[in-house]
Structures are given as structure tokens and as C-alpha cells.
Amino acid sequence: MAEHLSDEEQLESFKRWWKENGIFTIVAVVLVAGGYFGWEFWKDHRQERAETASVLYQKMMVAADVEPGDKLSVTQDASVTELAENLRDEYTNTQYARYGALLLAKVAVEKGDLDAAAEQLQWVVDGADEGLMLVAKLRLARVEAARGNLDLAISMLNVEAKTLASAYAETRGDLYLIKGDKTAAYESYQQALQKMVVADNRSRSLLELKLSQVAPDSQPVEEQQDLSEGDT
């Protein structure tokens, strides 16, 4: 009898607990389960979008394939533009959209449309990860220089560029040379040599040639080269 009453008391206690807490338990379970399946769905959806964007980018690369020195045909140009715009509009958050914009900027430069190139490159700079952003920013600085915005271009290159530090410094030297500031160009070329990590002989020789063209009269070019090689 005591055991029977104990069971009834436990049942009544459970009923009271369920009445007070049961709905919250159900909600918690639904939220946890929904969160898990929602997360899995989101991951699968993002992966699917990335794969689709990759296919579009590959099509864009094929459409833009020409022999060295040749330009895109009208049909190729239209196809590349359409695919790039599709990537940008429909797959904005993927890296492939940025790659497409970089290619579209290159095509725009080849056509002499610097405004369009700058717009594409700025879009990449504003939304890419750090590595791709630095690549786009270097190209944008060159486009801005070609548009006549030398001071803006130089200011864009005065940043910590990490693995692209040498390329940034060399381009900065080129722009200072265009401005007629040989002292600043010389300092930038020196920095480019010092920060050069891996380079073929042609790249180093070209940079050393640039350095020699702006070298102070008081220091022989051979000394400058020895100093720069000692720093690398």
C-alpha cells in the first residue's frame, strides 16, 4: 500500500512538474534540434553555392582565354561580362565573385576603361579577405596612377603589405619616379630589394636597374647593390 501511494505521489509530482516545465522542455528540444539541422542546412547550402560559383568562374576563364597579345572578341567580351556580373549579383559572398571582378578589371584595363577597372577593383578591396585585398589594392593603385591620381595611389601603397611588401615598395618607387621625386623613389626601390623574399634573376636585375637610375651621385651603384643584397 505504501509503495502504491509512493507511486501515485511520484506520478502527481511529475504531473505538476510537467505542467510547470513541460512546455519549456519541448521548446528547448525543438530549438536545439532546429538549430542543429539549420546549421547543417546552411553549411550544405553554402557549399552548394560555392561549387556553383566555381563552375561559373571556370566558364568565365574559358571565355576569356585568348592567345598572348590578342584581345577578346566582342562575343567573348560579352560572355565574360555576363558571367562576372552573375557572380557578383548572385554569389556576392564567395571568393569566386572577387576573382571574377579581378578578371573583369583586367579586361577593362585592356580596353582602356580605367573607370570601370577602378570600380571593380574597389569592390574587391572592400569585401575580400586580406590576401586577395592586398592584390586588388596594388592593382587599384596602378589604375589610379594611370587615371592621374598619383598622390592617392601612393597613399594606398603606404600600408603593411606582408608577402607583397616588395611589390608594394617597387610600385611606390615607380610612382615617385613619375612624380619626379628621385629621392623617394630611391628609398622605395631599396626597400623593395630588402623585402624581396623570392625572385628570379630577371626580377632582381630589373629592380637593381631602377635603383641605379635614381641613385644619389655620391654613392656608386655597385655599393648600393651590395648593400641591398646584404639586407636580403
Helices 95-110 and 114-127 meet at what angle, rounded to 10? 160
Q: How long is the chain?
A: 232
**Per-residue pLDDT tens over the stretch 4-51:** 556 666 666 666 666 666 666 666 665 655 555 554 444 544 566 778
Cα separation, 35 vs 44, in Å, equals: 14
Highest mean pLDDT pick, 56-70, 159-173, 213-227 = 159-173
pLDDT at 80 over 50: yes
pLDDT at 215 over 80: yes
DSSP-derived letter for residue 162 is: G
Cβ burial of 188 (10 Å; 0-12, 13-18, 19+) is: buried
Cβ neighbours for 102, distance < 8 A, ≥ 6 positions apart: 120, 121, 124, 132, 135, 136, 139
Considering the domain 20-147 in this protein, what is its CATH number? 1.25.40
pTM: 0.71
- In the numeric block, which cell numbers belong to residue 203? 626580377
- Range(s) within the chain of domains with CATH label 1.25.40: 20-147
Amino acid type, 154: I
Helices 130-146 and 165-179 meet at what angle, rounded to 10? 10
pLDDT at 214 over 60: yes
Question: What percent of the chain shows pLDDT beyond 90?
Answer: 41
Radius of gyration of the chain (CA): 30
Nearest Cα residue to 168 out of 197, 198, 138: 138
